[in-house]
Amino acid sequence: MTASTASDQRFREFKMPDVGEGLTEAEILKWYVAVGDTVSDGQVVCEVETAKAAVELPIPFDGVVHELRFEEGVTVDVGTAIISVDTRPGEGPVTATGDVIDPAAAGAPAQPAAHAETAAAPEGEGQGQGRQAVLVGYGAAPSSTKRRPRKARPEASTVGAAVQAELNGHAAPAAAPVAPAAPAAPAVTAAPAVTGAPAVVGSARPLAKPPVRKLAKDLGIDLAAVSPTGPDGIVTREDVHAAHQASVAPPVQEAPVAAAPAEAPASAWAARETRIPVKGVRKATAQAMVASAFTAPHVTEFVTVDVTRTMKLVQKLKDDPDMAGLRVNPLLLVAKAFLVAIRRNPDINASWDEENQEIVRKDYVNLGIAAATPRGLIVPNIKEAQAKTLPELSRALSDLVSTAREGKTSPAEMSGGTVTITNVGVFGVDTGTPIINPGEAAILAFGAIKLQPWVHKGKVKPRHVTTLALSFDHRLVDGELGSRVLADIAAVLEHPKRLLTWG
């Protein structure tokens, strides 16, 4: 058995799993282990943040950490190896490439790498003894084909740039052959690529990600003519937009000399600006809101309601022994009123299937509660909320909020929602026009409860008043249905005894 074969079986890689429903990437927030640490099956090795939640990842085998492939703060695609573990550390030390070191040869003086490579390259000797050592991984498989030695390598800088691009995950097609250097030109020594824009050699293909290439194609921009500013000479979106603006800019006309300093304020403002990367929950929220706002035709209706009797019921429930130890607040009764309205108007609890051109009515209610957390806005939901009693609903709401604030909400808890409540009243806001959560048909905004003058039994009295706003998808919810749902919610909050008569 060769050293490389033994190494392949000895070292195991743990790949970034799909911890949500179809998520494609996750950011490594924190490593709980370091190189050399012993790990066991089921031990949490890192915490990652997906577009939905922060999740701790357990490793599925025992061993000693051999390599951490990515640093904290790096976003990694699902399916990419993030950690390598030595499952048989007792077999002895290994090389940087993971090959087992032969104890008999360990005591022999090591031949300098440069001389060893020079000695092996001309005749191709020893290529069948194992894979060639490289910076990352196990290198290319050995080949039985012998090749004639090359006399000159004028394309060394091209190869260096290509290797650096491959190591950074941006492999580019092989460059066209470069013409031999002129006799008078001095010899150029190949050097490792450095961070920044590498020099373009021959007809090498510019480095750019597929979305950037598509953007350049749509704008009619030749990437070869764009000056890259990204790491490792990668052309970014900003580079393409800058090239496009330069190409469509009107001819520069002579201007008075006094107009030149006009650029100074722009740079001064830029120095006082902070750019925050859009990722994780914020990125997912932005994409979801844009998709919803520009896909589902939103309609928002409002109603102002006297909730004085509801506030009195809240106080009575707090004193009820059956609700002892449970959190009782107006949001609990608003949620219950919403569930009653859905029972009376089940068509509101549905979703639009664009692909099949169908309306999917759901006989279960997964009630979403919008929660503001340090990581951004998330919408976990209470599964089968329609079947819960008031104490059960109170307990579920409390658990949902506390879990969200601790940042431990799982992707499963944020999936499958049918309707949502957003409590903007906790910020002292009267109402709003909420955007529907994707895949749902309606969202209810619950405003602040305030003492206001109100006509009650023919007299103006101070009453507890709030404003409710219901946004719904007009593709499957018409004005009549939306109005009836909102009116039913208001009726229950005005006269909470309807929780009994309608429930």
Q: Which residues are catalytic?
A: 474
- CA nearest to 307, candidates 495, 80, 102, 101: 495
Buried b (16+ CB within 10 A) or exposed e, 55-74: bebebeebbbbbbbbbeeee
Q: Is 167 helix (H, G, I), strand (E, B) or coil?
A: helix
- β strands within 110-222, DSSP E: 207-208
The residues, ordered by sequence, that sit 6+ positions from 444 with a Cβ below 8 Å of its Cβ are 334, 338, 419, 420, 421, 422, 434, 468, 469, 470, 489
Residue found under tokens 């709003």: 432
Count of all residues that appear for the chain in the document? 503
97 and 137 in contact (C-beta within 8 Å)? Answer: yes
Please state at what angle helix 330-344 crosses helix 479-494, rounded to 10 degrees.
Answer: 140
Q: How many CB atoms lie within 10 A of CB 112?
A: 9
Buried b (16+ CB within 10 A) or exposed e, 233-253: bbbbeebbeebbeeeeeeeee
Buried b (16+ CB within 10 A) or exposed e, 461-478: eebbbbbbbbbbbeebbe
**Which residue blocks in 262-387 are alpha helix, DSSP H?**
264-271, 280-293, 308-318, 330-344
Q: What residue type is assigned to position 40 of the chain?
A: S
Buried b (16+ CB within 10 A) or exposed e, 149-168: eeeeebbebbebbbebbeee
- CA nearest to 80, candidates 14, 170, 15, 171: 15
